[in-house]
Amino acid sequence: MSGLMAGKKGLIMGLANDKSLAWGIAQQLGAHGAELAFSYQGDKLEKRVRPLAAKLGSDFLIDCDVSDMAQLDAAFAKIEERWGTLDFLVHAIGFSDKDELRGKYVDTSLDNFLMTMNISAYSLVAVTKRAAALMPEQVVAEDGTRSGGGSIVTLTYYGAEKVIPHYNVMGVAKAALETSVQYLANDLGPRGIRVNALSAGPIKTLAASGIGDFRYILKWNELNAPLRRNVTIDDVGGAGLYLLSDLASGVTGETHHVDAGYHVVGMKQEDAPDI
Ligand code: NAD
């Protein structure tokens, strides 16, 4: 274990099970000495999250639906009560009606548009405001070294940049999320708080299983990404550790791709078979 995250305390939001992207990031943070709290949505998930948190030495669990501002206030009040301050936050949350993650975007209903935007994009703004209030004031020493401030990372997908069939309203929400990252980074930069997004390639998780024809997306990425493979939650975890640690002290407002390079490719690879 390196001491990269030693002495730092952070909240992981969006852990559902050991396939979650949040789990890949949490494991790396734990292995590098971070103290972790976990928020989960509802009793059903608590049963899954509690043993995983315990593996990383944490018993600090908070029930929180991010679409409920009162629950968010209560969650951050618990953090303030137990820890006083917060150094980093992982936002790994997205949701849409799976009936609208197939077919055409033009058929998106108003109710699902608003719900998807609320849970998948606005929630970053809501949690960032509350997390930032608990992050220590930035101190610049005489020799120029900085302490305090904080780091926030959210999870996004390439469907924000280019059309991915079936991703639909979630792509629009991810575009709003990525632009929110830039505005939040600018708002909070003067306080030494960094805000970044990790754009992960497709990974089989609970959330991904709601996306129509996800197996085809996985296969297409594997065959056409420069690395000719799909990424894992360990790949995502390593990049999460980087962005949340002082290694990325000069990085903010960034959408960092962890997708085996898929986003740089403009067309099907010559060696990719027809699928
Ligand atoms: P996951 O199902 O493991 O995690 C999604 C989490 O969102 C769950 O823990 C769920 O409880 C939580 N959530 C949903 N609605 C919520 C609400 N109202 N309040 C609180 N929590 C809520 O799936 P995942 O793939 O690990 O997803 C994590 C993030 O990664 C999402 O933002 C997703 O869009 C993003 N992402 C996933 C992939 C992929 O291929 N799996 C790729 C790129 C980005």
How many angstroms does the Cα of residue 91 sit away from the middle of ligand 1? 9
Burial 212-221 (b: 16+ CB within 10 A, else e): bebeebbbbb
Ligand 1 binding pocket mutation candidate from 15, 41, 52, 161 (most atoms within 8 A of CB): 41
How many angstroms does the Cα of residue 156 sit away from the middle of ligand 1? 10
* Overall fold of domain 9-258: Rossmann fold (3.40.50)
Size of the chain, expressed as the number of residues it contains: 275
Mean pLDDT on 110-117: 98
- 184 falls in which pLDDT band (50, 70, 90)? very high
Give phi and psi for 111, each to the nearest 5: -60, -45
Residues with CB under 6 A from ligand 1: 14-16, 20-22, 41, 45, 65-67, 92-95, 119, 155-157, 200, 202-203, 205-208
Active-site choice (40, 167, 242, 262): 167
- 41 annotated as belonging to a binding site for a ligand: yes
d(C-alpha 5, C-alpha 32), whole Å = 5
Q: Is the dihedral of CA 252, 258, 259, 261 positive or negative?
A: positive
92: Cα separation from own chain's centroid: 3
DSSP 52-112: HHHHTT---EEE--TT-HHHHHHHHHHHHHHHS---EEEE------GGGSSS-GGG--HHH
130: Cα separation from own chain's centroid: 16
How many angstroms does the Cα of residue 231 sit away from the middle of ligand 1? 16
Q: Is 40 among the catalytic positions?
A: no
Question: Is residue 2's pLDDT more than 90?
Answer: no
Mean pLDDT on 101-124: 98
**Per-residue confidence (pLDDT) for residue 160, from 0 to 100:** 98
Question: Is residue 121's pLDDT more than 80?
Answer: yes
Question: Is residue 178's pLDDT more than 90?
Answer: yes
Active-site choice (157, 158, 242, 262): 157
- 37 falls in which pLDDT band (50, 70, 90)? very high
Mean pLDDT on 143-159: 96
ipTM summary value:
0.99
pLDDT digits (tens, 9 = 90+) for 217-238: 999 999 999 999 999 999 999 9
Q: How many CB atoms lie within 10 A of CB 28?
A: 23
Model pTM score: 0.98
CB 230 within 8 A of CB 218: yes
Q: In percent, how much of the chain has pLDDT > 70?
A: 100
Mean pLDDT on 193-215: 96
**Per-residue confidence (pLDDT) for residue 1, from 0 to 100:** 61
Q: Is 167 among the catalytic positions?
A: yes
**Per-residue confidence (pLDDT) for residue 58, from 0 to 100:** 98
Ligand 1 binding pocket mutation candidate from 91, 157, 205 (most atoms within 8 A of CB): 205
